[in-house]
């Protein structure tokens, strides 16, 4: 026997709708958590004279190499400096696949202060055709000198 829509309990409809919304919200939050991540598998590649040491790396995974990648790196200023640029170098087996220098907002820091920079960049697909590779990101001062460096695997981006 078929029931007419009028016989459905409105409370039941609200419960079903509520469960559907909770499921949608859970999937949305799961997707958001997967797309942005704090990465713990990185290396400090700065020299013994580094003026800044990296402490955290946060990335948003991209769908392909042709889509811009987002990276946020934070660290600690060991001495006073002014940062205004970065250097990105993609390497495989010690050979450079891609290199790019860019500017960040010019800002001065004092020793003990947190230094963070965020940027979005694209790596050409020709570089990603070799599979996974190492990324070296260095903060630069006004003269182009390296303040500090962080190394991590490209698999965290694509």
d(CA 55, CA 154): 18
Per-residue pLDDT at 3 exceeds 70: no
> Looking at the predicted structure, is the pLDDT value of residue 20 above 60?
no
Domain ranges of the chain: 7-36, 40-156
Res. 22 pLDDT band, cuts 50 70 90 = very low
Tell me the CATH number for domain 40-156: 2.60.40.770
pLDDT (tens digit per residue) in 70-126: 888 999 999 999 999 999 998 988 888 889 898 888 889 999 999 988 878 777 776
Q: Quote the percentage of the chain above a pLDDT of 90.
A: 35
| Number of other CB atoms surrounding residue 43 within 10 Å | 13
pLDDT tier for residue 30 given thresholds of 50, 70 and 90: very low
- Tell me, what's the pLDDT at 17? 47
What is the pTM assigned to this prediction? 0.71
Mean pLDDT of 35-41: 70
């Amino acid at each position: 026997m078929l029931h007419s829509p009028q016989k459905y309990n409105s409370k039941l409809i609200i419960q079903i709708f509520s469960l559907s919304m909770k499921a949608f919200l859970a999937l949305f939050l799961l997707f958001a958590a997967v797309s942005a991540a704090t990465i713990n598998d990185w290396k400090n590649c700065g020299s013994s004279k580094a003026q800044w040491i990296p402490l955290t790396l946060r990335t948003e995974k991209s769908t392909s190499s042709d889509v811009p990648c987002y990276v946020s790196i934070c660290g600690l200023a060991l001495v006073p400096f002014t940062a205004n640029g970065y250097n990105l170098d993609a390497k495989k087996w010690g050979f450079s696949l891609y290199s790019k220098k860019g500017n960040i907002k010019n800002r001065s820091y004092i020793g003990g202060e947190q230094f963070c920079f965020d940027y979005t960049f694209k790596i050409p697909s020709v570089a990603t055709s070799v599979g996974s590779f190492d990324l070296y990101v260095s903060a630069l001062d006004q003269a182009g000198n390296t303040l500090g460096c962080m190394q991590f695997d490209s698999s965290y981006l694509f």
